[in-house]
Structures are given as structure tokens and as C-alpha cells.
Amino acid sequence: MKKKLKLEGLDCANCAYEIEEALKKEGLKAYVDFAGKQAVIEGDVEKAKRIIRRTEPTVRILEGDEGHDHGDEMNIRKELIFIFSSAALFVLGIIFRNELHNTPYSAGEYAVFMSSYLLSGGRILYSAGRNIRHGKVFDENFLMAVATIGAIIIHELPEAVGVMLFFQVGEFFQGISVNRSRRSIRALLEIRPDHANLKTDGKIITVPPENISPGDIIVVKPGEKIPLDGEVLEGRTQVDTSPLTGESVPVGVGPGDTVLAGSINGSGMITVMVTKSLEKSSIYRILELVENARSKKSETEQFITRFARYYTPAVVLGALAVAILPPLLIPGAGFSEWIYRALVLLVISCPCALVISIPLGYFGGVGRASHRGILVKGSKYLDALAELDTVVFDKTGTLTKGVFRVTKIVPENGFTEEELLSMAAAAESSSTHPIARSIIEAYGKEIDPETVKEYREISGHGIMARIDGREVIAGNDRLLHLRKIEHGACDVKGTVVHLAVDGNYAGYILISDEVKDDAKKAIEELRAMGIRTVMLTGDSEIAASLVAKELGVERYFAELLPEEKLDILEKLKEKAGKVAFVGDGINDAPVIARADVGIAMGGLGSEAAIETADVVIMTDAPSRVPEAIRTGQRTRHIVWENIGFAMGVKGIFIALGIVGMATMWEAVFADVGVALIAVFNALRILR
């Protein structure tokens, strides 16, 4: 059982990494989400709380969402009081510096500047000392403490205070930006209904959705969110499913239709019988999927957190070398000047821009995709989407509508159309395949189950059954060859179901399927992106070639058994680099699982899709596949922009600092400015 703990005061991505490592070291399954300010624990929750408090004593643990925003507001007010008090003393010290310096032992100067320093940097000094006690020496608090204390020792009081004050101002604005981005991302996912109108004993009472059970009757008023999955009993309305699917076109519903939690009711009032409890409803599964997505970090994200652990110690050692070696090796070089340059390096080198903006970038990518009805199970799959070379599509239900209808019945060898359709319907009566359903629908009569005996489904071929004592087979051309039944050539356009009775060919039924409206657009967009397209299907060669030609698919493979689809995917992976497979998530689960990126179409009601796929397209629209790829590409592009920008600017200022062309003032502006720009840049993914 997973438990979520809200972590108030988790303002450092490196701290989140440290907490996660500490939890794992103690044998707990856990991940700490810096962007979402929470820890997800599987195991002993009380033990986890103790570890979190020990690792980061300043982090406050909350269970649930209550008090979170209020706590942020309180912290903002408190921060502003300290910042303004420190700034006032700092300005006072600058204006009257000469007078204060001329007091006995410069006591006035130290009193004013040190008061300002402690107001702005007291928390940083405390955090640095606390971390050292817990064996965590190298972090941004340590860097700032050493840099500013060093400046005080060489009597650069205004610079020490100014650096600490501007660092705190930068951290303040950075914190506001991070919290705002968190709220922006959360707003994309705020689709959880907060109440339900329960109809009981002729009355309507308002209750939380979690108190509703399957079979209960609820009333959904115009404009309200539908709180749970259910079936409409009374009323007609238009339902906006865009919060779930990203599809803005309203859907008309009436008695007998299914409605999904999280959808928004239009202008009509409907009475709904609940079919699923909250934890099993579509909305709950979506939110859980998005929450869990944060645990599957990309290689870039994992690299940056590892990099930060080694980067800071390396910076400290480098600064130490700059402070000590030149005065010893260069004639005339003074310790004071090179110590100052070393302190400048410490300020410049804080890794905040990287460790904050990169998780936010991926978090935003997952949030943005989910808002568009594309559920990505982790940032590592955003990266995988960005690297795709080939997209392989299943045909039926993915590129085509999967809504089959009988268009032609061709009896042979003395059978009539009625006999052929009757036997086919009886043979297919136990199958749930769309083709079988279309034959039963075309027959339109009751089928006596007692007439069907020895039913057997042959995967990838068809069905064998004994009907009224006669052996009937219904399936594809391969099934006839398997049973060595002679039949004429059947060169027709569409999906064909052949029938044979007692070993004699009885004729065939032609079934047509329609291509989805946006399937061609999806293929064209993928081709424009330089991504190859392939189609796999168990359907006939003729039906497959027609669809492939109409859509412009580069390659197709027809008449495939499920295991043959897997074999072809393996061969494509060997030759084509990163390969995605797009299927319905049920019949194609093995292929979806084996692809570099498994994409399930129309997965809203499919447990298999949710479980197996890496990406779930909530609608049946193939055009969402290139959109998912673009989201992955855009997210990775922004992330690497931040990495390049942060490393580039810091590299330049480190070089300037070493040669003495950058002061501590410029260093703090470079550090804080880079972090703020990187955070703002990460938010672009939301637009």
C-alpha cells in the first residue's frame, strides 16, 4: 500500500535526492518528488517519517494536502520581513560606512553589517552547520557560508552581506517561481471532483465521492463534474470529456450511455447509477498514473542529481587550489587577492539552476501531456519519445475505427446467404472480437447456445465449432489451408471471413472497416518529423495493402499471428533504432511491452492498456501520437537548453573569477540570475 506524504519546506532538489537515498538505504521502497513536494512511501510509513526528519530536520511532514498553500503564504511573509530588515540595515551600513568604520575597533561597522548578515543568512548558516553535523558537507548552503564568512575574515563586510542578501532575494524569487510553476502544473491535473449528489430515500444529499459505492444513484447538475464512472439512467446532456481526453468536442449522452468521472456535465441534469468506486474510476487511475510518473526519472534527471553530488566537492577543492597554489607558485601573488578569487568561485558554482529547473521541466512535460489526454508514465519515456526513429501501428482499432459491418455475403456450393450468415453468427457467438460482433449484429436474431458445441478459438486463424452436429469453421484463408479445404481465389477488397461446413467450402462474408478521420494526418506528421511508419495486422494482405496505400504507411506486414508481430518488432528494433508500438493495449499487450515505447490507444477504459503501456492516449485519435513525440522533443530541448545555458554562463564566470575580472557581486547575480532564467525557461513547456 502506497502512502503519500506532503513535504512542506522541500525547496532544494538535492535535499529531495538525499531524502530518497536515505529511505532506500533503510530498505524502504520510496521516491521523493521535488517538483510535487511529496514523498511516496511503500512500507513502514512511521519509519519513513523518522528518516525524513533525521535527514532534513527543516522539512515538515503533512499527510494530505491541507495546510500546504497556507504554509507557503506564511513562509513568504516571514521571508519578506527578514529580507526587508536585512536590506534596511545593509543600506544604512553603506551610507554611514565611514562613520561606522571609525568607531573603536570598527565596532559600529561590524554591529550593523553583521546584524544584516545574520538576518539574511542565518538560516543558511544554520542549514550548513546542521548538514555538516549529519555528514553532508557539500551543498549550496555550505558554498554560500564559506564564501561569505571568508569575505568577512578578509574584511570585505559589504560584499559578504550583499552577496548573502542578494542570494536570499534570488532564492525568494526562485521559490515563488517554483511554487507558481508547481501550481500551474497541478492546475492542469485539477480534475478530481470534490463532491457527489447522492439520491437516497427520495432526497438528494451532498457527500464526498469516496463515500459512494457501486450501485448508488447520483444526480449530476448542469456544469458539475461527474464524480464517478457510471451509467446514465435518466436525462440527456452534452458531456465535456476534455479534462480526461483533451478532446474539446462535447459528447451527447442519454439513458444507457456510460459517463466517466472527471468529465463536465453540460446543460442537462442527469441521473447516474455508479458502476465503479472512486479508487477504480477513470479519474483516480489517471491521477495516480500522473503522480507515479514522477518516480520514473529520465537518465538526464538522474545524471544531474548524481552530478550535483560530485560537482560541489570538486568546486570546493578547485577554489581551495585557487586560494593556495598561485600565492605559492607565482612570484608577487598575495594570499588576500587569491582567497577573494576563490570565494568568487564558490558563489558562482552553486548548482541550483540545474537541480531545480530540470525536474520542473520534466514535471511540466508530463503535466502538459496529460492535459492533452496523453498519459506519460515517467520523464524517461518523454526522453524515449524524443529519440524515436520508427512508429509501428496495429491496424484494427488503431488506424481504423474497428467498427466493422457486413457489406457482402457470397455463398458457394449450394448454400444460401441466410444459411451462411446463420452458421457464421452461431460460430462467432462466443467471441468478443469486433469482426465477430459485426456478424452477430448483421444476423440480428437470437442464437440458441445449446446448438453450439465444441467451440475452439484458433489464435490468428479463426474459430472451429460443432453447430447442430455439423463441423463449422469460420476464419481466414490460412485456416482453410490448415484444414486443406479447397476454395476459389478470393481477390476482394476488405476483411474476409471464410466458412466451411463438414470440410466443404460454403462461401465467404466480406466485412468493411473504416479508416479513422485523422489517421492520414498522423502518418503525414510523422513522416514530416523524419520518423518511419510501419503497420502490422492479422488481416488479409489485400485489406492491409488498401489501408497502407490510403494512409501512406511506408511498410506493412499482413496476416500475422500475435507471436509474429513480436518477431517483426524485434527485427525492426535491430535495424531501426528506437521503436514505438501503438496498439489497443489488450490484444497487443506483449508487443506494447516489448517496444522501446509502448503506446496504448483509447486506453481510458482498458486496464491492460494502463498496466502495459508506457504512454496511454486517452482518445482513439492517432494524431495524438505525433503530438506526444513533439511534447517529448520539446521537453528535452528545453531541459538541454537549461543545461547548456547554466553550464555555459557558469563556465564563463568561473574563468573571469579566476583571472580576477569578476567580483562577488557579479558572481551572485550570475548564480541567482541563471537559476531564475532556467526556472522560467522550464515553464515554457506548459504553453
Query: What is the set of active-site residues?
Result: 394
The sign one gets for the Cα dihedral 32, 33, 37, 38 is: negative
User: What is the rounded CA–CA span in Å between residue 124 and residue 147?
Assistant: 12
Q: Are 271 and 352 in contact (CB under 8 A)?
A: no
How far, in Å, CA of 268 to CA of 257, rounded? 14
Nearest one of 36, 44, 49 to 10, comparing CA atoms: 36
Residue 456's H or E segment, with its range, is strand 452-458
The CA–CA distances, whole Å, from 324 to 151, 349, 667, 684 equal: 16, 18, 20, 44
DSSP 8-class letter at 685: G
Q: Which residues contact 199 (CB under 8 A, 6 or more apart)?
A: 216, 217, 218, 219, 271
User: How far apart are alpha carbons 289 and 283 in whole angstroms?
Assistant: 10
274 contacts 230 by C-beta, under 8 angstroms:
yes
**Burial label, 484 (beta-carbon count in 10 A; 0-12, 13-18, 19+):** exposed
Phi, psi of 286 (to 5 degrees): -65, -50
The H-assigned helical ranges of 189-331 are 242-245, 282-293, 299-329
According to DSSP H, which parts of 374-501 are helical? 379-386, 417-428, 434-443, 477-482
From CA 417, how far away is CA 91, in angstroms rounded? 97
Q: Do the Cβ atoms of 446 and 453 come closer than 8 Å?
A: no
Q: Which residues neighbour 447 within 8 Å (Cβ) at sequence distance 6 or greater?
A: 425, 426, 429, 440
CA distances from 241 to 263, 319, 370 (A): 5, 57, 13
- Contact between 173 and 676 (Cβ < 8 Å): yes
What is the arrangement of strands in the sheet containing 597-601, beginning at the earlier edge strand? 374-376, 615-617, 597-601, 579-583, 390-394, 532-536, 555-557
> How many angstroms separate the most distant Cα atoms in the chain?
121
Q: Determine the Cα–Cα distance for residues 346 and 162; give it in Å rounded to an integer.
A: 15
- Calculate the CA dihedral of residues 115, 117, 122, 128 and round it to 10 degrees: -140
CB 598 within 8 A of CB 625: no
Strands 597-601 and 579-583, bridge-based pairing: parallel
Q: Is residue 392 within 8 Å of 536, Cβ to Cβ? A: yes
Cα first-last separation, the chain = 35
